Amino acid sequence: MTYCVGMLMDAGLVFLSDTRTNAGVDQINTFRKMAVFERAGERVMVLLSAGNLAVTQSVVTLLHERMAQDGDSLLRAPNLFEAARHVGDCVREVHRRDAESLRAFGIDFNVSLIFGGQIAGEPPRLFNVYAAGNFVEATPDTPYFQIGESKYGKPIIDRIFRHHTPLEEAAKCALISMDSTLKSNLSVGMPLDLAILRRDELRVACLRRIEADDPYFQRLRVGWSERIQQAFTALPGLEEAGWCDGRG
């Protein structure tokens, strides 16, 4: 499995992905699930992928191939909407080529993508592209997307993250969300890839591979665990409910 999250803010975009892939439990590997497409000063885009690795790799490779050719590509799309359509077209091309053969082996054509960035003249935008090549766009009401093992890490994002959250705080929130997922699900694993895009910089502001022994991430994990325990302890105990004085 996988866990990836993409966050849209006034101030820019944050992307975080794990690197674990597994086929069953006995074939576990590390693959980058984050791809960056950049023409610095003009456009910058980040793609996070979950699902069948053969499918997601094919999509990313196709996107790079198209960039090296003359026709439509992420580098020529006039805006992020057209860029997301291009991503969807590449998903559909892989589907046309592979879906039937996969079906013959009982394998679903399983792919889910988070795609976002900024092209000069537009604000930052964020999309969730589905296996059918269609997509939805994030808005201030729902300014984030998750793909893969999304449920463990959703409560903390729902509590903390808003469209007006500063970039560094959003990245911290994404890391805490990832920590909860790592703790509860073996199919999500270190290292992580983090990308931060500041509005109107039109280049990646920060692109970081975070290893398991990274001192800051360690501090975050230990600190969060301790503070959660303290927060829990500080809450009023059940005896204050008065529920169990009789038999309720």
Q: Is 25 in the site for a second copy (CB under 8 A)?
A: no
| Residue placing its CB nearer to a second copy in the complex, 42 or 158 | 158
Q: Is 64 in the site for a second copy (CB under 8 A)?
A: no
Q: Is 41 in the site for a second copy (CB under 8 A)?
A: no
Smallest gap from Cβ 210 to a second copy, in A, equals 8
Q: Is 213 in the site for a second copy (CB under 8 A)?
A: no
Q: In the set 65, 100, 108, 168, which binds a second copy (CB under 8 A)?
A: 168
Residue 178 contacts by C-beta under 8 Å, 6 or more apart in sequence?
3, 5, 16, 18, 153, 188, 192
Q: Is 3 in the site for a second copy (CB under 8 A)?
A: no
Q: In the set 10, 180, 192, 212, which binds a second copy (CB under 8 A)?
A: 180
| Residue placing its CB nearer to a second copy in the complex, 71 or 237 | 237
Q: In the set 46, 173, 188, 197, which binds a second copy (CB under 8 A)?
A: 173
x/- mask, a second copy, residues 217-246, rule CB under 8 A, reads: x-xx--xxx-xxxxxx-xxxxxxxxxxx--
x/- mask, a second copy, residues 182-211, rule CB under 8 A, reads: -xxx--------x-x-------xxxxxxx-
Stretch that binds a second copy, among 3-11, 45-53, 56-64, 144-152 (CB under 8 A): 144-152
| Residue placing its CB nearer to a second copy in the complex, 76 or 203 | 203
Q: In the set 154, 162, 163, 199, which binds a second copy (CB under 8 A)?
A: 154
Determine contact, residues 153/5, Cβ cutoff 8 Å: yes
